[in-house]
Structure 1
Amino acid sequence: MTPEHVSPDADVRAATHETLEDYTLRFAPRSYRKWSTGVVAVSALGGIAYLADFAIGANIGISYGTTNALWGIGVFAVVVFLTGFPLAYYAARYNIDLDLITRGSGFGYYGSVVTNVIFATFTFIFFALEGSIMAQGLNLGLHIPLWLGYALSTVIIFPLVIYGMKVLSTLQVWTTPLWLVLMVLPFAYLLVSHPESIDAFFSYRGEDGNGATNLGSIMLAAGVCLSLIAQIAEQIDYLRFMPPRTPENSRKWWTAMILAGPGWVIFGALKQAIGLFLAVYIIATVADGAAVANQPVHQFLEIYRDIMPGWIAMTLAVILVVISQIKINVTNAYSGSLAWTNSYTRITKHYPGRLVFLGVNLAIALILMEANMFDFLNTILGFYANCGMAWVVVVASDIVFNKYLLKLSPLKPEFRRGMLYDINPVGFGSMIIAAGVSIVVFFGGLGETIRPYSPLVAIGLALILPPIIAIATKGKYYLRRTDDGIDLPMYDEHGNPSGEVLTCHVCRQQYERPDMAACQTHDAHVCSLCLSTDKVADHVLPSQV
């Protein structure tokens, strides 16, 4: 059968047209990446406008005291920055999301499905957390019942996420200046007008007054914060649209990649510390302040009331909450829909449409909100952190040790079906062991003495197991093929993915060289998405092993 006689089915056509908007499941081509490094960075950092950091900082401070909380935040920041750097670099350099990076960094074509589920779980947990904060704001300012506020905070996001990166980048750029002013104003006011609040902050010992500095409390605090480690995947959903790195833009490219990639944690850590600062002030100065000190809407409202008339304070507090919730939850919803769609398409070879899983993600988040997740926030985040850390640290370990130091993992990323083994024990096995053992520790299965150190267990195992398993297997499970059957070079003279265009004989669309492979049964080329939806493996190249 010649290429001109191949007729794409309806499923492939639907998948093709929808994914061309945001390049779900595939490489982001040079022709689409028209944004400057600055716009990409601001868009990515706009996604960390969430108020959950304030709640997390307040919660761990109230539980463990200021000193332990600050040390825990510091541990969190160091771990996230170091592990996020190699992941962000690969995303910006090779224009692929974290799932595609994970496939070729020790997990295999199907092995990374489990990490997609971990990431999707992250998105709906934090969507629910932010939605709950918005509902609290609407309840306080407009007297909207919480159950209705939960629904409104969910429904409002759906239309904003339909059109992918084009709409999201515009939304993030235009709302960031107002958000920054509203967020920084209360903290700056307290520092200037109530300098005594600084001493009260550092001397705060927690709700039970026993917040003496100790490593166990520090690690428990860090464990809650480290639930945010998967945020790097959301940063990467923007970073994959970075322009090619050239000698002319190299400095701007590196600055944008670092700030918008691992650098997000600098801003996140500051927000957690500020959240604790505001909570301590409210506990000390507001009647019954302890009951609401961990709720960001009350934190900002009380400070605004010290500065301006009550009705203006209430208005600004509600505006801040709504803007913050929209800025982060469009990213949560967008990234979550990508993760669910990616997993489902690979397993079933059917593309149901990203909007289907956008609805699924929002529905799960709404259920969590209605269940009042604030009541068990520390437990949810502490448990999730073990899974998130195991995944992210394993991928970072594979890139740093197995790719660059041991040379056992292919240096250039690979994500296409047919080129990878289905499951690679290096990453997949390491993550399962690291997550499993750390969860057992988290729930006290190995004794109360080491229970607070489950984050260290997850990080340590995830760091050392990939090189150990890679050496034991001699790196044989990374690639089932080294040749994709196309003679054109994959990269240009600067090491960027090539912009050469080829035509897929299945969907008859044009794609750039990194997204294509030779077809097994036709003298033609096939794109990565059509390979993913090939139910009979008619187009998939055979193993070279």
Structure 2
Amino acid sequence: MTQDATRPPEPSTAPPTDATASRAGAARETLEDYTLRFAPRSYRKWSTGVVATSALGGIAYLADFAIGANIGISYGTVNALWGIAVFAVVIFLSGFPLAYYAARYNLDLDLITRGSGFGYYGSVVTNIIFATFTFIFFALEGSIMAQGLELGLGMPLWLGYAVSTIIIFPLVVYGMSLLSKLQLWTTPLWLVLMVLPFVYLLISHPESVETFFAYQGEEGRGTPSLGAVMLAAGVCLSLIAQIAEQIDYLRFMPPKTPENSRRWWAATILAGPGWVIFGAAKQVVGLFLAVYLLATVAGASAFANEPVRQFLEIYTNIMPAWLALTLAVILVVISQIKINVTNAYSGSLAWTNSYTRVTKHYPGRLVFLGVNLLIALVLMEANMFDFLNTILGFYANCGMAWVVVVASDIAINKYLLGISPKVPEFRRGMLYAVNPVGFGSMLVAAGVSILAFFGLLGETLASYSPLVAIGLAFVLPPVIALATGGRYYLRRTEDGIDVPMFDEHGNPIGATLHCQVCDQDFERPDMTASGTGSGHVCSLCLSTDREGRHVLPAS
């Protein structure tokens, strides 16, 4: 963009027309990190390392410790470890094609989803699924932070919930510009505080390893059980939508060139599907710490699944009590801020995307930042932490259906069968409103797996609802694509612009075109010819065009 993005647009005395609204929205796009559109080359100034570190900073959350502890306490160590392994494999395989598309084409997961079997309006439902993920996990992380504030400062939980919510708002206002700095500055201290208790136990209490593997859980499950493994995996797989948050950073990757190819691939894999390596490790450590506490601390059954208490108890063995308490609170606060700025940021993008497409009005990302935080606060005050396994197990079915369907469309329909267009498309007018390939597959996969989860398809199948969701989501996209001949992917194949879309290395080019509606310059991938027969129009102005005057006709 050519305007000074740090200066808000001058107030206008003109009547509030669609064009005026589009100009105002376009003028604050840099501040709002290109909420609804392709992330332009001119804005992507970060190195591959900075982008990867920023993305991985978003997985600093302590919920993994609670999840690992909860499934281990419920199903025993052996079943929990196998469940975590299933979770890691599914997350990595499904996340790889999504991360590649985000980094290669500089799009968030909503824009990728539109052209990967869902259609322009069809992906609205997946945005709602993702927004739900962000406020559920914001509430979970906020609850953990409130537990730390209660323990360290004596702050009542209800007030801790409010504080953990309010402090996030100003940190998210400036998007990637501020988030990248925050994640870089806080990561070293977070790593030291996170690893210290685990290393201490391995060195000073080696017998804790044997105790860990022998732990059978509340139900005495000492031997592997496929049903228990899948129930444990189902809880862990509620994190499958985390790839969308990783992608909100990965879309700012620099162009891939022969010179940076190795670094580009390493950053994309590590910060994309590779996040699950760290996530799985944290779940294992969370269970390890919980088992240690249960075996050595009286009354630990009341708090062994609370990360802040896990770290406090171990720190107390290493250092004076006052310092242990201080470091435990610092760890909790840093971890929760690092992840909840990402939850709040990504949730605001998802809500704004959906609202703008449905209403043709762009309210700005900050409006929905407030909405997302308010919903999360309500969940915290309702004490969702006590129902963690049930909430996450139910949500996992929806998240898996969405992510695996998109991954299946990219891997099978685009690359193996060649039915789905390889180049992702997200612009209004270029796509059909709804594509049954992805939209239909997701509804069937999510619906059937949820029925299975609640036992409506038989008690035996209830344990295997994650397999139901994954299996249907993987198989149905190619089946429906073949049945429909792929005719519902593209409404038209040409966007009316002669300028090429990609450079010699296959990266979206940085050439700019002028939008006749908002009077701003945007890069080529974000533009189409206007349906009026002259000039060009940007994707945001297309999204807010209530009369559809600039939308190209079907071809």
Q: Same fold (TM over 0.5)?
A: yes
Q: Do the aligned residues in 1 keep the contact of 2:23 with 2:519 (CA within 8 Å)?
A: no
Deviations 1:225-270 (A, max 9, x none): 0000000000000000000000000000000000000000000000
- 1:25 is aligned to 36
Do structure 1's residue 472 and structure 2's residue 483 form an aligned pair? yes
SS of aligned partner of 2:460: coil
- 2:421 is aligned to 410
- 1:389 is aligned to 400
- 2:3 is aligned to none
Do structure 1's residue 37 and structure 2's residue 33 form an aligned pair? no
Do structure 1's residue 441 and structure 2's residue 435 form an aligned pair? no
1:288 to 299, 323, 337: 299
Deviation beyond 4 Å, 4+ runs, structure 1: none
Q: Whole-Å Cα distance in 2 between the matches of residues 210 and 86 of structure 1?
A: 36
Q: Whole-Å Cα distance in 1 between the matches of residues 408 and 153 of structure 2?
A: 49
Deviations 1:38-79 (A, max 9, x none): 000000000000000000000000000000000000000000
Q: Whole-Å Cα distance in 2 between the matches of residues 424 and 204 of structure 1?
A: 48
1:355 to 359, 366, 369: 366
Deviations 1:485-521 (A, max 9, x none): 0001000000000111111011111111000000011
Shift of 1:522: 4.1
- 1:122 is aligned to 133
Q: Do the aligned residues in 1 keep the contact of 2:67 with 2:283 (CA within 8 Å)?
A: yes
- 2:152 is aligned to 141
One-letter amino acid matched to 2:23: R
Shift of 1:210: 3.4
1:66 to 74, 77, 101: 77
Q: Do the aligned residues in 2 keep the contact of 1:112 with 1:428 (CA within 8 Å)?
A: yes
1:516 to 524, 527, 531: 527
Q: Whole-Å Cα distance in 2 between the matches of residues 93 and 179 of structure 1?
A: 30
One-letter amino acid matched to 2:152: G
- 1:336 is aligned to 347
1:97 to 108, 116, 123: 108
Q: Do the aligned residues in 2 keep the contact of 1:128 with 1:365 (CA within 8 Å)?
A: yes
1:310 to 321, 332, 349: 321
One-letter amino acid matched to 1:109: Y
Do structure 1's residue 484 and structure 2's residue 514 form an aligned pair? no
Deviations 1:178-218 (A, max 9, x none): 00000000000000000000000000000232343100000
Q: Whole-Å Cα distance in 2 between the matches of residues 239 and 358 of structure 1?
A: 20
One-letter amino acid matched to 1:230: A
One-letter amino acid matched to 2:418: K
1:432 to 443, 450, 457: 443
Q: Whole-Å Cα distance in 1 between the matches of residues 323 and 386 of structure 2?
A: 30
Q: Whole-Å Cα distance in 2 between the matches of residues 368 and 268 of structure 1?
A: 23
1:10 to 2, 20, 23: 20
SS of aligned partner of 2:518: coil
Change (3 A) 1:54 1:477: same
- 2:272 is aligned to 261
Q: Do the aligned residues in 1 keep the contact of 2:452 with 2:465 (CA within 8 Å)?
A: yes
Q: Do the aligned residues in 1 keep the contact of 2:405 with 2:473 (CA within 8 Å)?
A: yes
Shift of 1:8: 6.3
SS of aligned partner of 1:449: helix
Q: Do the aligned residues in 1 keep the contact of 2:516 with 2:536 (CA within 8 Å)?
A: yes
Do structure 1's residue 367 and structure 2's residue 367 form an aligned pair? no
- 2:196 is aligned to 185
How many residues in Structure 1 have an aligned counterpart in Structure 2? 539
- 2:289 is aligned to 278
- 2:338 is aligned to 327
One-letter amino acid matched to 1:163: Y
Percent pairwise identity: 79
Q: Whole-Å Cα distance in 2 between the matches of residues 81 and 148 of structure 1?
A: 38
Do structure 1's residue 229 and structure 2's residue 243 form an aligned pair? no
Shift of 1:168: 0.3
- 1:212 is aligned to 223
- 1:3 is aligned to none
Runs (5+) with no aligned partner, structure 1 = 1-6
Shift of 1:523: 1.1
Q: Whole-Å Cα distance in 1 between the matches of residues 159 and 364 of structure 2?
A: 28
- 2:6 is aligned to none
Shift of 1:13: 2.2
Q: Do the aligned residues in 1 keep the contact of 2:352 with 2:368 (CA within 8 Å)?
A: yes
Q: Whole-Å Cα distance in 2 between the matches of residues 56 and 17 of structure 1?
A: 42
Q: Whole-Å Cα distance in 1 between the matches of residues 291 and 213 of structure 2?
A: 9
2:164 to 153, 167, 172: 153
Q: Whole-Å Cα distance in 1 between the matches of residues 24 and 389 of structure 2?
A: 42
SS of aligned partner of 2:497: coil
- 1:453 is aligned to 464
Q: Do the aligned residues in 1 keep the contact of 2:18 with 2:545 (CA within 8 Å)?
A: no
SS of aligned partner of 1:494: coil
Deviations 1:272-308 (A, max 9, x none): 0000000000111111001100000000000000000
Q: Do the aligned residues in 2 keep the contact of 1:33 with 1:242 (CA within 8 Å)?
A: yes
Q: Do the aligned residues in 1 keep the contact of 2:430 with 2:495 (CA within 8 Å)?
A: yes
SS of aligned partner of 1:491: coil
One-letter amino acid matched to 1:11: A
One-letter amino acid matched to 2:488: Y
Q: Do the aligned residues in 1 keep the contact of 2:23 with 2:520 (CA within 8 Å)?
A: no
One-letter amino acid matched to 2:141: E
Q: Do the aligned residues in 2 keep the contact of 1:337 with 1:355 (CA within 8 Å)?
A: yes
One-letter amino acid matched to 2:358: I
Shift of 1:11: 1.7
Deviations 1:387-434 (A, max 9, x none): 000000000000011000111100000000000000000000000000
Q: Do the aligned residues in 2 keep the contact of 1:161 with 1:330 (CA within 8 Å)?
A: yes
Q: Do the aligned residues in 1 keep the contact of 2:23 with 2:517 (CA within 8 Å)?
A: no
Q: When the two structures are superposed, what TM-score results if normalisation uses the length of structure 1?
A: 0.98
Q: When the two structures are superposed, what TM-score results if normalisation uses the length of structure 2?
A: 0.96
SS of aligned partner of 2:537: strand
One-letter amino acid matched to 2:19: D
Q: Whole-Å Cα distance in 2 between the matches of residues 273 and 431 of structure 1?
A: 31
Shift of 1:450: 1.1
- 1:420 is aligned to 431
Q: Do the aligned residues in 2 keep the contact of 1:123 with 1:335 (CA within 8 Å)?
A: yes
One-letter amino acid matched to 2:517: V
Q: Do the aligned residues in 2 keep the contact of 1:8 with 1:507 (CA within 8 Å)?
A: no
2:547 to 536, 541, 544: 536
Q: Do the aligned residues in 1 keep the contact of 2:18 with 2:544 (CA within 8 Å)?
A: no
SS of aligned partner of 1:9: helix
One-letter amino acid matched to 2:107: I
1:132 to 130, 140, 143: 143
Shift of 1:468: 0.2
Runs (5+) with no aligned partner, structure 2 = 1-16
Q: Do the aligned residues in 2 keep the contact of 1:138 with 1:318 (CA within 8 Å)?
A: yes
One-letter amino acid matched to 1:179: W
Q: Do the aligned residues in 1 keep the contact of 2:238 with 2:393 (CA within 8 Å)?
A: yes
Q: Whole-Å Cα distance in 1 between the matches of residues 340 and 255 of structure 2?
A: 28
